[in-house]
Structure 1
Amino acid sequence: MADATPVFQIQRMYLKDLSLEQPNSPQILLEQQQPAVEINLAMAAEVVADGIFEVTVTATVTTKVADKTLFLVEAKQAGIFEIRNIPEDQMQGILSIVCPQMVYPYLRAIVSDVCTRAGFPPILLNEVNFQAMFEARMQAEAAQANGGSPIITSAN
């Protein structure tokens, strides 16, 4: 009989992808206007091998002055996790909440560091409530499966 002890271990944290673009430099660096900042986050999880999962969190930061891009940073931070003997109904929560919460601080540091090294003030990504994001996604999927519209609730 195989050992059924639950296992959750971080195998590795790593920067999977990083991109910095300053398409309108150096002219745009002379602008005196305050730039507009847009931040988008994405998460993904995939099976690498039996009981081994890669979880990625991607941040795309776009700053613009008027209609011109000042700079764009895209960073994808990843973690490899060994997860075994966990009940199936708990796996989605672990992959969507626990793992991203462990990966995200590394992503925040990378984005801030890249902005500073590029000669700009650091962009500090806000804390993210992965639990609330997961619950909202589950609610939307349930509503869609039932043919209705999702019920939006506020989570603080």
Structure 2
Amino acid sequence: MADQEIQVALQRIYVKDLSFESPNPVEVFGQNWKPQVNVEMQTRNRKIAESAYEVSLEMTITAKNGEKNAFVIEVEQAGIFVIKGLEGENLRRLMGTFCLTILFPYLRETVDSLCLKGSFPPLVLAPINFDQLYEQSMKQQHQQQQQQPDQPHA
């Protein structure tokens, strides 16, 4: 089989879902600002057409100042990528690393902007090494598969 040329083209980047909540602004603004920030992240991808995939990066950021929730941001940044010449694990790896690396700066800017619009100090999310996270995830899956006993086939 001849090597097929790999093509990756970004078609569109967009905010798919967005939420900003500040349940206790009066109490929080009156305190010295020393937040505890928790970040949760999920990724998704799905085939939407021939060679076209929607890849999304979701984050929930919760900032507490003392005992009070200062704000909660939920954002899903997504993109449509046309990917040709890759299948299986190579395709999953590209979507789980390269595509997320493209989306992250847009999500990061959205989070920072929302904090400022909510009258909070800027929140600049630290860079994420999606290649390293992907490798860790693959190792975890491999270990889990090794720990599961073989199931008899019916």
Stretches of structure 1 that go unaligned for 5 or more consecutive residues are 149-156
DSSP 3-state at the match of 1:81:
strand
Stretches of structure 2 that go unaligned for 5 or more consecutive residues are 149-154
The number of equivalent residue pairs is: 145
Q: Is the Cα contact below 8 Å between 2:51 and 2:82 reproduced in 1?
A: yes
Deviations 1:126-150 (A, max 9, x none): 10010110001100111111117xx
Match in the other structure for 2:14: 14
* Residue 33 of structure 1: how far off its partner (Å): 5.0
Q: Is the Cα contact below 8 Å between 2:57 and 2:78 reproduced in 1?
A: yes
- 1:62 to 2:62 alignment: yes
Q: Is the Cα contact below 8 Å between 2:34 and 2:66 reproduced in 1?
A: no
Match in the other structure for 1:118: 118
Q: Distance in 1 between matches of 2:117 and 2:33?
A: 21
- 1:89 to 2:89 alignment: yes
Match in the other structure for 1:151: none
Q: Distance in 2 between matches of 1:94 and 1:8?
A: 9
* Residue 32 of structure 1: how far off its partner (Å): 2.3
Q: Distance in 2 between matches of 1:23 and 1:62?
A: 11
- 1:134 to 2:134 alignment: yes
Q: Distance in 1 between matches of 2:109 and 2:28?
A: 26
User: TM-score, normalised on structure 1?
Assistant: 0.86
User: TM-score, normalised on structure 2?
Assistant: 0.87
Q: Is the Cα contact below 8 Å between 2:58 and 2:74 reproduced in 1?
A: yes
Deviations 1:22-42 (A, max 9, x none): 111223321225221112222
Match in the other structure for 1:44: 44
Match in the other structure for 1:153: none
